[in-house]
Structure 1
Amino acid sequence: MFDTSRQLPADRLRYDRATAHLDAPFAVVDLDAFDANAAALERRAAGKPLRVASKSLRCRALLDRALAREGFSGVMAFTLREALWLARSGIEDVLVAYPSADRASYAELAADPKLAGAVTVMVDDPAQLALIDAAREGGAEEVRVCLELDASLHLLGGRVRIGARRSPLHSPAEVAELARRVEARPGFRVVGLMAYEAQVAGVGDAVPGRPLRSRAVRLMQQAARRELATRRDAVVRAVRAVCPGLEFVNGGGTGSVQHTAAEPAVTEVAAGSGLYVPRLFDNYRSFTGTPAALFAAPVVRRPGVGVVTVLGGGYPASGVAGADRLPQPYLPEGLRYDPQEGPGEVQTPLLGPPADDLLLGDRVWFRHAKSGELCERFDALHLIEGDRVRETVPTYRGEGHTFL
């Protein structure tokens, strides 16, 4: 949920003062909020290490800031090419959260002892092993493998599925069988298990104005947590019987940290969005966060009473298209989109009483709907501490990388 104790006019004044020397549009991260969110995630994890999800940050300086904290250990990357880049930069533990078909990157991985020791790839199908072998180009390094368990909730004999469509491996027997096949194949070793409970970690359970839906989501999530905890424990035991050297069992996400961390079978929890706290995470009862990542758009027109127009702003998030995927006009409070235009590619009209107090060149501050996707729009993040910009750091895009 959103931290309602924040003094938003004071935050706006602080952000405006800190960035007065900058020309908008630009993006910022409030370091005080970032650190407070990191501490809150650590408390929720209750001593279990947090693996930071890089797709939610997409900025090496902020990855390093999170990893410097005692409660964070390791990175969860979103592509293999990104994982190799992070490993070359000195990060020694990178789990790729999704299977890859990047043959060139597999060849690099299999040929480099340092990369092979630092990077773990995701597998949920024997065909992926064949793809990796075909891409080795003579590289003989052992490839570290993590197996992904389907964490979705199956009801009515599997006719109803609730959760993300990810791995085809649902039962302990299915995961253990793939573990046997990996272990029997030269050049591979199973080191980890992963299960992402999207129906718990990625679905808000306190949607404003929708009490019945919110109640239904909470009931579903309670059932999903119980079912997965039992099944995950059985999967871990089945895989350990095949792979006694299993190093980690990863689960969760920002929305389920405390629940996933409470499972004895889980050794680490993934989190990333909870550091920036984008608008999609306002509808969760399980935690309260402080928005840390924002972007500013300049007022460039005043078309009439109660209306201003800002430059740009049309940065929708991925997922099912809808109003919840749009950026949120955040500061000053009380602005809203024109329903006939919405946020535009080049300009965005905004309506509401605060518009009459805005002058040409003033900033309107926005929150993105999702976390790291903001960094695909900007090549730098201005890191604010108090009422000054402490440092300006490149995003992935600013370092010349757009991995997806």
Structure 2
Amino acid sequence: MGGPAAEPYDFCLSFATEQRPYVEEVAELLRKAGRTVFYDAYETAKLLGEDLYTHLDEIYNRGSRFCVLFASEAYVRKVWTRHERRSVQDRAMREAGAYLLPVRFDDTPVPGLRGTTGYVDARVTSPAELVRILLEKLAGEPQAATVSASILAVKADPHTDLEDLVRKALSHCRVSVAPELISARGSSVTAVVPEAVLSVAEVVVDVTATIADLARKGSVPALRIAVHRGQVPAGQPGESVDLTEAAEAAASAAVADVFDRVPEAGCVIVATQRVFDTVIRPGRGGCNPAQFSWTTTADGRGLYVKVPGFPQYGRPARPAGATPAGAAAPRTYHFGGPVTAGQIGDVNFFGSDDDRH
């Protein structure tokens, strides 16, 4: 069997199955950023019939610019991850710079990985923020910092001035956001509300209700209000994966179907899976999960729909822990402060946990 060409991948990902939901999102974001990534689910056809012991050694030892090692108790005890780790560490010994980039899910010691090696803590770092760090490491240049935010996507008839509607609603809620955080996109508008300004729960409860009320008074037909939670570039957001996810939620055919099933509905409020899992289901800030009904997009992503004035609409919300056939498991992440690329993979010397920056 011929091995792969030298470094055909920007990143290879080494992880235990228990961490797959987080790692899968990292892989997806890296691909959307135009990077090449070795992630087993993308390589099913290539791996079929191969001598995996030899092939994986080629990938993890010589086939990638960087290896992202997702360390955990499960990672340390499993046979195949042990094989991958040994290949990675053999390469790391020959490299003058960082090759192994550790990401920790817990504090389990990893054989051969020194405690002085900089790492990213997945317990306080979202997949989007980790990808920013990895891209910065790859480029050798700082990438734009990101902030945690609620992302509103509002969609209606293309002749409706939705940008003015959203600005008025935020003003009514006494929320001040920079003008560049609200942008028109065809027949929809997106608005970024940093969590430092207003909590996600307040956006779900208060801001959406105000937008819906103003739309009703202005006779805006078939209004869709989607709320997502994610990371956006600090300053002028431009484009990001999370902005796109919010816009796609508002434009989803599953949401359009609501108006077909309930023609009298003037507005539909949509929460993404992440918002439901982290804010609505726990009942934060007055959120009531019983008001939301579960549906899915064509690609299996969960959405939770609320139809003001129609509390019994549609199917009941999916029970906690249940996963629809073909859909990804719910992903809940904690959003921490920015982590610099220089802290991952390079050797740093810390006097104690309190000295880590």
* Greater share of strand: 1
Give the structure-2-normalised TM-score: 0.31
Give the structure-1-normalised TM-score: 0.28
Which has the higher relative contact order, 1 or 2, with Cα contacts under 8 A spaced 6 or more apart?
Answer: 1
